[in-house]
Amino acid sequence: MKEQLANIRADALAAFEEAKDALALDALRVKYLGKKGELTAVLKQMGKLSTEERPAMGQLANEVRAALEQAIARTAQRLEQAALEARLCSETVDVTIPGKSPIIGHKHPMYIALDEIKDIFVGMGFTVLDGPEVELAELNFDRLNAEEGHPSRDWSDTFYLDEDSRVMLRSQTSPMQVRAMDTMPLPIRIIAPGRVYRKDEVDATHSPMFHQVEGMVIDKGVTMADLKGTLNLMVENLYGKGTVTRFRPHHFPFTEPSCEMDVQCHKCGGAGCPTCKGEGWIELLGAGMIHPNVLRMANIDPEVYSGWAFGMGLERTAMRRFKIADLRLIFENDVRFLEQF
């Protein structure tokens, strides 16, 4: 029996050396160590041995088993290593093949315009605020001096979210004026960009959702001259030095006096052309001196403090900046269009 075990050991170790791959090695494992394997067959004869012989033979059998198991593990590792090396040799990398360049998007033209606007105002010490698109009618209207019955409060113009017309999708970024007055210490210099919603049909110049940038300054001794100076500076930064503006009287409930600012048409230089619909001017924003009632409702004394505010359409600014003719292009996200900027 001792001899049998020695033979098995020698045969098996030699066979393992010869194994070509993992499959062959596994077959050998079954052949020697499996339930019907050669070593198992020898062990089954242990019962025939005398009680004196059995312990020594048992120990030898265990040694042989351990030796075979170790050899199998070693061989498996060797085969794995060899397989890896073979693969590395066969799968060479051709570093001269041109790489696949990943498609990286870029900023949307409207956000390019917005970032320019932010830069201009941050450079003048303004803080950029973000606010909710679902807004209280109280902040969108009442606190902005637009009393009950004001035409913009009508259900045909505004998306209300409840029966009592108290919660709505903001129709302008102007409620951010109120939110700033309620939360920030004076003096205040803010801009607040964001989405606004109105019940408009989609066409080349209208969309039920669009973007505005609100701007506001409140301090002691602030005048209309500051408003005009700041807006002219913004326009020159956006559209180039020497861009001509004009301020027309207008009406907003929350500013007094109120105005609209136009920019001279970039296409015709003011002569009148299709881009400016023959006007020579393009309307850019509404603005004015903050109404004393609005300051009072925010517990700011209009005898001590004054301020100005403006609200500009962001799509319109981007359209003028990049000479885009149709508002719908801004929202359709057609890559062929977006790639041009």
Which residue's CB is nearer to ligand PHE, number 1 or number 297? 297
DSSP calls for 288-302: EEEPHHHHHHTT--T
Contact region with ligand PHE (CB under 6 A), list: 46-54, 92-100, 293-301, 303-311: 303-311
CA distance 295 to 289: 11
Minimum distance of ligand PHE from residue 307's CB (angstroms): 10
Q: Does 288 bind ligand PHE (CB under 6 A)?
A: yes
Q: Does 194 bind ligand PHE (CB under 6 A)?
A: no
Q: In 91-221, which ranges are continuous DSSP H helix?
A: 109-122, 137-140, 175-183
Q: How many residues bind to ligand PHE according to rule CB under 6 A? A: 10
Q: Does 252 bind ligand PHE (CB under 6 A)?
A: yes
x/- contact string, 125-164, with ligand PHE (CB under 6 A)? ----------------------------------------
Q: Does 207 bind ligand PHE (CB under 6 A)?
A: no
Contact region with ligand PHE (CB under 6 A), list: 18-26, 156-164, 283-291, 322-330: 283-291
Residue sitting closest to ligand PHE (CB):
311
Closest CA to 65 of 38, 41, 39, 29: 39
Which residue's CB is nearer to ligand PHE, number 15 or number 282? 282
- Tell me the Ramachandran region of residue 165: left when phi exceeds 0, alpha when psi lies from -120 to 50, beta otherwise: left
How many Å from the N-terminal Cα to the C-terminal Cα in the chain? 88
Minimum distance of ligand PHE from residue 310's CB (angstroms): 5
Judge contact between 311 and 194, C-beta under 8 A: no
Q: Taking CB under 6 A as the criterion, which residues in 160-189 touch ligand PHE?
A: 172, 174
Q: Does 280 bind ligand PHE (CB under 6 A)?
A: no
CA distance 244 to 264: 5
Q: Does 284 bind ligand PHE (CB under 6 A)?
A: no
CA distance 195 to 186: 26
Q: Does 191 bind ligand PHE (CB under 6 A)?
A: no
Q: Find residue 281's DSSP bridge partners.
A: 264
Judge contact between 52 and 88, C-beta under 8 A: no
Q: Please select the residue that binds ligand PHE; options are 110, 310, 318, 319, rule is CB under 6 A.
A: 310
CA distance 292 to 211: 27
Binding site for ligand PHE (CB under 6 A): 172, 174, 252, 255, 286-288, 309-311
